[in-house]
Amino acid sequence: MCGIVGYIGGQQAAPLLLEGLTRLEHRGYDSAGLAVLGPSGVRVAKQAGRVRDLGDGLPKRFTGKIGIGHTRWATHGPATDANAHPHTDESGRVAVVHNGIIDNAAALRLELADAGVELVSDTDTEVLAHLVARSTADTLEARTAEALARVEGTYGIAVAHADFPDRIVVARNGSPLIIGVGKNEMHVASDLAALVRYTTTVAHLADGEMATVTADGFSTYLVRTIDGAGHVGLAATDRRASEVEIDPSSYDAGEHDSFMHKEMLEQPARAEAVLRGRLDEKFGTGHLGGLNLDARELRAIKRVKILGCGSAYYVGQMGAALIEELARIPADAEAASEFRYRNPIIEPDTLYVAVSQSGETIDTLLAVQEIQRKGGFVIGLVNVVGSAIAREVDGGIYLHAGPEVAVASTKALTNMFLAFAMLAVQLGRVRDLSISDGRRLIAGLNAIPGQVAEVLGREEELAEVARELAGAENLFFVGRVRGFPVAREGAQKFKEISYRHAEAYQTSELKHGPLALISPEVPTVAIVPDDELVERNVAALHEIAARGGPLTVVTHAGVDLGDLERTARRIDVPRSERELDPILLTIPLQVLAYHAALSLGHDIDKPRNLAKSVTVE
Ligand code: F6R
């Protein structure tokens, strides 16, 4: 959430910063700004709106070879020009960009106002600029550290100061900060996406770490001491830059009209990547070395608790069902954002699983920390290598989905499901899941990438259904048992990019209330796999049809919808093993959401009010 860039070197900073901000825009896109440090001091350009608007309106001769920039997702104060970053002090000599939240901003704002400082924005970040400016320490590093010692909360920050025109100071606590090493120039960013075009030699700051970045290198340190007067002592750390293996083109949409489209179509290849080397066909089990648990420890697990947010939570529900079914261990998923506020009981023989594409979602990260504080064992299903959650967990499974840029998650979710399936088989095979069932499921998993491709190959047919659904203001997505998390994920995807009200319900619960809303204007997308509930599901569809509700049924070939065949639209997905059905039922729902949003003319990758990676509570 929010993006930071910085540059120092021999080139003009502004065009490079704008390019970097464009690459980070999925992290927040309600306002953007730049500060450059040139011969006449710090110059700032910032405004509400998109990065391209900022670029179009940039003053002529916005020159300087040092600069910082920011793209914002509003937390404190609405998206206005004044609230956009960078923020400056009263003299205009200090400029700060910040990701994260300063929890004690209100108290600090009062204190600064009492001291006669005129605050010009509603943001928490502005206090940092004033605190840095008011420090009398000798160096920008110490001034920044003194300011940070006053704040509670999370931050990734970059600071430029007219009195120290050869450096940018950066710091991290909870929000990522990466330094990119170029040739006689250095870059700073909150995400690799902004750097990979310039360099793949990078250093990730650790929480609590600060760095000085000059044109010819960087040095890192930690705050060691703070005396009673708030003065700090700094101690050097020896963080080095290393090469990251990344294909810069994975951050380009290529011939696709959006990243979401590109990422949906990448699913077959990315699904193969998550399965590769992890399926043991001979013994019919998963081979997940990163769990850091041997067979005896896996056997000792009595319960599984899965934590994630949004779509990751819904896939977590699919995962919990898989684990209960295949390993016969009680398993459930819970929204990570709620978990730690109910003083959860942490049990020694429970396996906790944190699921996150970004590995940065603060609610999931804080849930991991709460579990670990109480002595629990947590593994992560994480996509971004080296992210905060990936670093904190006790073991895990990387998702190998590649960079995901679209706010609406697709390929990472598919790989989360596949990772859960492998985990469930492995947990099952140290219990009562037979070798033949294990082999059956491994064969089923091997077939999934091709089957996903088969569904995606029917995009045109699905687009037609989507355009029709897009005409409705309100929709239901319904499913039962294995199908219910699928319905939840389908409704989530639909609402977040089409802005239609899509509500998920258990099919079995319709008659306990929501049936009152069914009418010819309210279509229902029903998930009806060919499983043990198919007859009951079809009966419920008749209840919807009897009230004039239009039906789209996501099902398997051969499922008999009876006289509904005449009126309902059906979308048949390939048959898999029953336990693995949810993922193939999910894929067409992504395509429906995408084409509904496209037909409504929405910005698919940047849905309103949202941003990729929710790093604030
Ligand atoms: C929906 C979506 C979000 C994320 C959620 C968790 O399409 O992308 O609901 O799933 O914000 O994000 P991660 O997986 O990064 O923790």
Residue 4 alpha carbon to ligand 1 centre in Å: 20
Q: What are the pLDDT digits (tens) for 204-257?
A: 999 999 999 999 999 999 988 888 888 888 999 999 999 998 888 888 999 999
Q: What are the pLDDT digits (tens) for 431-475?
A: 999 999 999 999 999 999 999 999 999 999 999 999 999 999 999
Q: Which helix (H) or strand (E) holds 181?
A: strand 178-181
Q: Model confidence at 131, in pLDDT bands (50, 70, 90)?
A: very high
Active-site hit among 2, 262, 305, 606: 2
Whether the per-residue pLDDT at 616 is higher than 80: the answer is: no
Which residues form the pocket of ligand 1, taking CB atoms under 6 Å from any ligand atom?
Answer: 309-312, 356-358, 361, 364, 408-409, 492-493, 496, 613-614
Q: Model confidence at 188, in pLDDT bands (50, 70, 90)?
A: very high
Helix/strand/coil for 247 = coil
Residue 357 alpha carbon to ligand 1 centre in Å: 7
Amino acid identity at 491? A
Q: Model confidence at 611, in pLDDT bands (50, 70, 90)?
A: confident
* Distance (Å, whole) CA 101 – CA 124: 7
Confirm whether 612 is a catalytic residue.
yes
Cis previous bond, 15, omega within 30: no
Q: What are the pLDDT digits (tens) for 546-558?
A: 999 999 999 999 9
Query: Under a CB-based contact definition with an 8 Å cutoff, are residues 576 and 444 in contact?
Result: yes
Substitution site in 175, 264, 309 for ligand 1 pocket (most atoms within 8 Å of beta carbon): 309
* Distance (Å, whole) CA 567 – CA 573: 19
| pTM of the shown model | 0.91
The tally of CA atoms less than 13 A away on the side-chain side of residue 174 is 22
Give the domains, in start order, of the chain with CATH numbers: 3-246 (3.60.20.10), 253-457 (3.40.50.10490), 458-617 (3.40.50.10490)
- Average pLDDT, stretch 258-271? 97
* Distance (Å, whole) CA 163 – CA 104: 28
Residue 1 alpha carbon to ligand 1 centre in Å: 12
Q: What are the respective helix, strand and coil percentages of the chain, to the nearest 5? A: 40, 25, 35
Atom 5 (ligand 1): residue with closest C-alpha?
A: 310
Whether the per-residue pLDDT at 613 is higher than 90: the answer is: no
Confirm whether 2 is a catalytic residue.
yes
Whether the per-residue pLDDT at 615 is higher than 80: the answer is: no
Burial of 169-191, coded b for 16+ CB within 10 Å and e otherwise, reads bbbbbbbbbbbbbbeebbbbbbb
Q: Which atom of ligand 1 is nearest to the CA of 312?
A: 10
Q: What are the pLDDT digits (tens) for 102-119?
A: 999 999 999 999 999 999
Substitution site in 614, 615, 617 for ligand 1 pocket (most atoms within 8 Å of beta carbon): 614
Q: Which atom of ligand 1 is nearest to the CA of 384?
A: 15
35: Cβ contacts below 8 Å, ≥ 6 apart: 42, 43, 44, 67, 68, 69, 86, 88, 95, 97, 160
C-alpha 506: how far from chain center: 26
44: Cβ contacts below 8 Å, ≥ 6 apart: 33, 34, 35, 86, 88, 92, 95
Q: Which atom of ligand 1 is nearest to the CA of 416?
A: 14
Helix/strand/coil for 553 = strand
Between these two residues, 175 and 120, which has the higher pLDDT value? 120
- Looking at residue 495, its pLDDT comes to 97
Whether the per-residue pLDDT at 74 is higher than 90: the answer is: no
